[in-house]
């Protein structure tokens, strides 16, 4: 799983992270959910913070069922997130213990139950929510999954969030720890009001998401 192109791939991503570029919608969503103590105090803002991030990241395009939903659709999701202990925001790919992987899978199932009402494809949408809110898992979109199916073959198909796929991501991190840690330590989210870097690092899982997305998009 050792890769020699991580720095080059990640540098292609960071070229498109200006304050008004769509990739920065992750920053604003992640900052909000990491820094806000009470999501219910202004639940409308909480729903809008999540909804715009998802729209900016392609979850309202084409035939997505979300096209027919307003931001209020996310109320049950926000109410669920408000029940979670703040320790969930300390989980990252470097501490994917069995217990933490179980927590991630449990959150995945709980979000799926609140968001997906019919037989809609769920892995991409739910993992994008989890990435934007917690930063502890990459988004399982088509580009990321294409990259990691190739890296992990035939071990994992990345069709859903389970211990197998999380273990592959963890193994990938361990094999490429130096490069991933370097980018995580030097990459910060942007503040919405000032456009300047905050003191919040991009998580290691977010760095892995960036690598998988860009490499899948440009092809192998």
pLDDT score at 118? 64
The mean pLDDT of the chain is 91
* Alpha-carbon span 177 to 170, nearest angstrom: 10
Per-residue HEC secondary structure of 159-185 comes to CCCCHHHHHHHHHHHHHCHHHHHHHHH
pLDDT score at 216? 86
Domain ranges of the chain: 14-218
Phi-psi region of 136 (alpha: psi -120 to 50; beta: other; left: phi over 0): alpha
pLDDT score at 8? 86
* Alpha-carbon span 3 to 177, nearest angstrom: 11
* Residue from 75, 187, 67, 72 nearest 125 by CA: 67
Q: Could you give phi then psi for residue 140, rounded to 5 degrees? A: -85, 60
Give the confidence band of 162 by pLDDT, cuts at 50, 70, 90: very high
pLDDT in tens, 109-161: 999 999 987 655 678 899 999 999 999 999 999 999 999 998 888 778 788 89
pLDDT score at 11? 84
> What is the average pLDDT across 89-104?
97
> What is the average pLDDT across 66-75?
93
For CA atoms 143, 149, 151, 156, give the dihedral sign.
positive
Q: pTM for the full model?
A: 0.93
Q: What percent of the chain stands above pLDDT 90?
A: 71
pLDDT in tens, 189-200: 999 999 999 999
> What is the average pLDDT across 13-37?
90
> What is the average pLDDT across 76-96?
97
pLDDT of 85 higher than 90: yes
pLDDT score at 13? 80
* Alpha-carbon span 64 to 53, nearest angstrom: 15
* Alpha-carbon span 66 to 79, nearest angstrom: 19
* CB atoms inside a 10 Å sphere around CB 134: 23
pLDDT score at 190? 96
Count of alpha carbons within 13 Å of 217, Cβ hemisphere only? 11
* Alpha-carbon span 4 to 179, nearest angstrom: 9
For CA atoms 120, 214, 164, 109, give the dihedral sign.
negative
């Amino acid at each position: 799983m050792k890769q020699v192109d991580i720095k080059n791939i990640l540098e292609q991503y960071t070229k498109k992270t200006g304050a008004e570029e769509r990739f920065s919608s992750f920053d604003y969503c992640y900052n909000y959910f990491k820094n806000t103590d009470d999501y219910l105090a202004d639940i409308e803002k909480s729903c809008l913070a999540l909804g715009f991030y998802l729209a900016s990241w392609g979850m309202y395009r084409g035939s997505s069922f979300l096209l027919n939903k307003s931001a209020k659709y996310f109320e049950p999701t926000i109410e669920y997130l408000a029940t979670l202990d703040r320790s969930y925001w300390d989980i990252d790919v470097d501490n994917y213990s069995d217990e933490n992987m179980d927590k991630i899978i449990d959150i995945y199932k709980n979000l799926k139950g609140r968001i997906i009402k019919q037989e809609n494809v769920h892995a991409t949408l739910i993992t994008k929510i989890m990435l934007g809110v917690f930063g502890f898992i990459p988004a399982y979109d088509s580009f990321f999954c294409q990259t990691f199916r190739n890296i992990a073959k035939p071990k994992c198909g990345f069709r859903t969030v389970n211990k197998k796929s999380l273990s592959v991501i963890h193994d990938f991190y361990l094999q490429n720890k130096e490069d991933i840690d370097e980018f995580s330590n030097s990459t910060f989210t942007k503040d919405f009001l000032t456009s300047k870097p905050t003191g919040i690092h991009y998580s290691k899982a977010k760095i892995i998401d960036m690598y998988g997305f860009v490499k899948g998009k440009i092809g192998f």
